[in-house]
Structure 1
């Protein structure tokens, strides 16, 4: 089965920063109008990009007759979690209201929309079905894969020096991550670079930022650096669930991944 090629759109701008969406459509006319799966990438809300969608997700487009929309969002700490959720809300609104017209009549069915994502993306997926996100109406279903559910969970507040999965045991310094941990640094909506076997990233590369966060146990500080009056505990999923929220499927264990 071939992997479909996406069409890239800018669904929002924040100042001069474009925030993009990759749209994958099934190749068979019989699958149209296709239900929509909105996908959010992982990376601890600190790094990652829509372009990192896994091959099996792309193959699902034709295998199951889905329209997959992989959305970028602003990254912390240069954006706070409340601002990231603004991008989630605006992205889903764009998918529902603007994308059908851009694609042409009968290509997608915006009334059948679910969200999904892995790790940090799974966290966003869960929040997209809860009132705190501002997404109205909520998605028909939520399909998180090993999501973060609380930035104050033990994994995210317990420093690891060295990080258990580190290949060389290197301890990242504040100087290494100086630019990335500074909330006033340049705002980003994507930070992704494929790893080349045998060629580690430079110590100060953004792709090491998640490992630095695990090392320091400071996810909540990074997610709310630009929202100092907000209590991170208020964004714990367990505090936000309600009786009539959208059905949740997928793997929903609380684990230490981003």
Structure 2
């Protein structure tokens, strides 16, 4: 539920084919590199607003393959359209194991110059275990009957990653994660995940110390979901380059397609 930025968008949906159309927007303007040709781009300061189309195929049990196509609301060209994808096994119930590959890198439908469409080796392989807390502890944390609290611990391995300090690619990035998600009234949720980098030099400025999200999710086809998420560059209080302000996050309105 918590290994990807979407928080497993289709968790709880047992259909073989699932889809969602969403609008996401940052809460403050930022400098963005906007490709405007096969080998050119320009810098512009604006709020990053995107339309996203996510499609998922689950052929059997909890095996799945997911792709999300993303295009900016403004300054649109074929070179600005990108995509993210993931696949693997991910049972969203407690006390289950998941193994997921996900790639949120510089994936382009129409890559510029000599760039590749995707860099598979820069994606993350995540092995995780979801579990429920002991009843003696859980009963003191649940607000009302019917609420649920599921936690997760896991490990991610990235074969190749970009190091800002070295301005080059490096190998074998390791990240440990742990977090919990609370759902109340079957739709409202709060999730938080902490990350630990055994080699602190591997943590880049955009790699957060933690991530969190909250919102409302309908899950069923034809329903809507709205959520706020903050996962990029967050830092614990007292750490250098602290960037955990609320306006650094993104708000999304999601419509689960009725098929």
Same fold (TM over 0.5): no
Larger helix fraction of residues: 1
Query: Normalized per residue, which structure has more strand?
Result: 2
Q: Normalization by structure 1: what TM-score?
A: 0.30
Query: Which of structures 1 and 2 has the larger relative contact order (alpha carbons within 8 angstroms, sep 6+)?
Result: 1
